[in-house]
Amino acid sequence: MSQRYRIAVIPGDGIGREVVPEGLRCLQAAAEAHGFELECTEFDFACADYWARHGEMLPPDWRDVLGGFHAIFFGAVGWPEVVPDHVSLWGSLLRLRRGFDQYVNLRPVRLLRGVRSPLRDREPGDIDFLVVRENTEGEYSSIGGRIFEDTDRETVLQETVMTRTGVDRVLRYAFELAAARPRRRLTWATKSNGIAISMPYWDERATAMAQRYPEVAADSDHIDILTARFVLQPDRYDVVVASNLFGDILSDLGPACAGTIGIAPSANINPDRTWPSLFEPVHGSAPDIAGRGIANPVGQIWSGAMMLDHLGEPAAAERVVAAIERVLDERADVLTPDLGGTGTTEGLGTAIAAEIAAGA
């Protein structure tokens, strides 16, 4: 009996609906090559159409509907003509992330062969690191308020929340990752010189965690110099772990350094596996190019590779990434416009799927 994984598929809005089928095409090719099964169930919620019909982004029983799947394969959400972006985002993706306790947001930053970095003279190998973002607490709290409204004394306060459990679990995840990588380096982002209560706590917990991983060379950078070094010396970094806000910034800056936003993958992971993890490209629904068949499907396909790795199929995951890299490097004829080509979403997806089937 071959292993069978049950996947919830949520294409969402805009180009999400165009790139998800290409992601599935490639995942099925990998499943066939490696002898496991992916049983995919598609859902039509978490999109503007659903919101227009129901006034909600998710069904009330979403936790029961999705909770039993091995993983969630997500496209993109957002169609501002119909539903304001903050409503669609908070009503769908952020509820899933928090409700399923996906406390790690993982974004690989790797310059692939065949992709030009906006950084001058950078070669593949110069940029190859992982950003680990805390995904459930930190600076993104709704605790606070506004007093003395509409007076000269108008005052606004918003709290940062760091719990020992919340901080330690994301740090532990990052140190485990670093310990398993060849370079065994970890940098944590901080700003304890300016943010004088929460960030020293973050440093304290990171220092304590570092003592438990003597094999990992760990240090910290203040967030300001860290962003500068992403651009100037990206080869310094191996695993970078950050609080919710700093991680949010780093996890867009990093992929931008590695080429187009269209290729960047991400994973929202529940490492304890109490609930499913969610895999989605970094990019959004891109209303400006939706419906034209020219969106780059690589971010979706690479996110699918991360899903295979999480499911326990690392060889299949590696095969998908290798196929992506070969096609980007060798098949100028199928590249989408964001990569400088004239190809289509389906053309690039089909070429990668064929390369996956063919193997190395």
286/339 Cα distance (integer angstroms): 16
Cβ at position 284, least distance to Mg ion in Å: 3
Specify whether 126 is catalytic.
Answer: no
11 makes contact with ligand ATP (CB under 6 A)? no
Q: Facing residues of 158 across strands?
A: 144
Task: Choose the contact partner of 262 out of ligand ATP, Mg ion, none; CB within 5 to 8 A by kind.
Answer: ligand ATP
78 makes contact with Mg ion (CB under 5 A)? yes
User: According to CB under 6 A, which one of 75, 259, 284, 304 is a site residue for ligand ATP?
Assistant: 284
Which of the residues 5, 128, 191, 221 is marked catalytic?
191
Within positions 92 to 151, which residues make up the interface with ligand ATP, using CB under 6 A?
none
User: According to CB under 6 A, which one of 295, 307, 308, 324 is a site residue for ligand ATP?
Assistant: 295
Q: Give Cα 127 to chain centroid, integer Å.
A: 17
Task: Choose the contact partner of 114 out of Mg ion, ligand ATP, none; CB within 5 to 8 A by kind.
Answer: none
Cβ at position 13, least distance to ligand ATP in Å: 9
50/58 Cα distance (integer angstroms): 8
**DSSP conformation letters of 73-120:** EEEE--BTTTB-HHHHHHHTHHHHHHHTT--EEEEEEE--TT---SST
Q: Give Cα 100 to chain centroid, integer Å.
A: 15
289 makes contact with ligand ATP (CB under 6 A)? yes
Contact track, Mg ion, 321-360, x by CB under 5 A? ----------------------------------------
Cβ at position 284, least distance to ligand ATP in Å: 2
Which of the residues 224, 235, 329, 333 is marked catalytic?
224
Give me the phi and psi of 218, to 5 degrees please: -115, 140
353/319 Cα distance (integer angstroms): 11
210/198 Cα distance (integer angstroms): 18
Cβ at position 295, least distance to Mg ion in Å: 13
Cβ burial of 319 (10 Å; 0-12, 13-18, 19+) is: buried
286 makes contact with ligand ATP (CB under 6 A)? yes
Cβ at position 283, least distance to ligand ATP in Å: 3
Cβ at position 230, least distance to Mg ion in Å: 23
Cα distances (angstroms) measured from residue 221 to each of 59, 118, 192, 253, 303: 42, 23, 10, 16, 28
Specify whether 140 is catalytic.
Answer: yes
User: According to CB under 5 A, which one of 11, 114, 284, 297 is a site residue for Mg ion?
Assistant: 284
Specify whether 168 is catalytic.
Answer: no
Cα distances (angstroms) measured from residue 274 to each of 159, 238, 271: 28, 28, 8
Which of 256, 261, 255, 304 is CA-nearest to residue 279?
304
Specify whether 221 is catalytic.
Answer: no
Specify whether 288 is catalytic.
Answer: no
Task: Choose the contact partner of 8 out of ligand ATP, Mg ion, none; CB within 5 to 8 A by kind.
Answer: none
Within positions 241 to 280, which residues make up the interface with ligand ATP, using CB under 6 A?
261-262
* Residues annotated as part of the active site: 140, 191, 224, 248, 252
Residues that bind ligand ATP (CB under 6 A): 15, 78, 261-262, 283-286, 288-289, 295-296, 299, 338
